Amino acid sequence: WLSHLGNELIAPEILEACIRRRDALADRGAEIVPFDEPFENTEPYWLVITQSLWVARFEDKLAEFGDRMTPTLLRGIEEGRTYSAVELQRAITFRTQLYRRVQSWFERVDFLMMPTLSRTAIAADHDFYQPITIGNQTAGGIRQTWYPYTHPFNMTGHPAITVPCGIMADGLPAGVQIVGPMMGDGDIIRLAAMLEQAHPWAHLWPDLVAA
């Protein structure tokens, strides 16, 4: 069990909801092990790898489709042009080291369980390059403060699944994430199904409003 993964802030009600789901597994026989591993900010390496890829994949599409691309993608392509080959190789080396480190954790535990996001959804028109708030505090950039729990495993390729864990006070959902060892997809699906049986959620659909 990890409550944080390189981040400092998380909305208290989300943490409490995730802890209730954690305890539901303990009630069904799971051994919960607090897992407090120092974890550095992986975003700088993620940006080098991802934005370099965006340049390779989309730069030649700018003339035809640039007016249909999001500002975030356009800025990412622009930033991707600035990285050197050495910076890219350093980021790839870091990703390999991160993979090995995460994989080694599963020599001690079967799964990692943590919140999926540090707060509920932000506004759809929020500027991706502007900081977010968590509670009444300015938290910082989106990747490192809103979803620090997810993008590291996008880099390493470890299987992960999110299970809803309730509707928060603002009417928006929150989730708890389960991460497994490489090739452990089936096991995390079975664990997620167990959690869903303990706390059914599929009936909790909010009223839909036509746009």
Q: What is the pLDDT of residues 79-116, one digit of tens each?
A: 999 999 999 999 999 999 999 999 999 999 999 999 99
Q: Note whether residue 210 is domain-resident.
A: no
Under 8 Å between Cβ of 29 and 127: no
Question: Is residue 189, in this structure, part of any structural domain at all?
Answer: yes
Domain containing residue 138? 12-198
Q: How confident is the model over 152-161, as pLDDT tens digits?
A: 999 999 999 9
pLDDT more than 90, % of the chain: 83
pLDDT value at position 211? 55
Name the strand (E) or helix (H) holding 176. strand 173-179
2 within a domain of the structure (yes/no): no
Any idea what the CATH number is for the domain that residue 40 is in?
A: 3.90.1300.10
Amino acid at position 172, single letter: L
**What pLDDT, on a 0 to 100 scale, did the predictor assign at position 209?**
65
pTM, rounded to two decimals: 0.91
Q: Has residue 45 been placed in a domain?
A: yes
Q: What is the predicted pLDDT for the residue at 135?
A: 87
CA distances 170 to 13, 121, 137, 174, 183, Å, are 11, 10, 17, 11, 37
Query: Please, which residues bridge with residue 115 across strands?
Result: 176
pLDDT tens, residue by residue, 135-170? 889 998 888 899 999 989 999 999 999 999 999 999
Residue 127 or residue 102, greater confidence: 102
Q: At residue 178, what are phi and psi to the nearest 5 degrees?
A: -120, 130
Total domains present in the chain: 1
Within 61-123, strands assigned E span 112-115
Q: Is residue 80 situated within a structural domain?
A: yes
Residue 210: what pLDDT?
58
**pLDDT beyond 90 at 206:** no
Q: Which residues contact 161 (CB under 8 A, 6 or more apart)?
A: 177, 178, 188, 189, 192
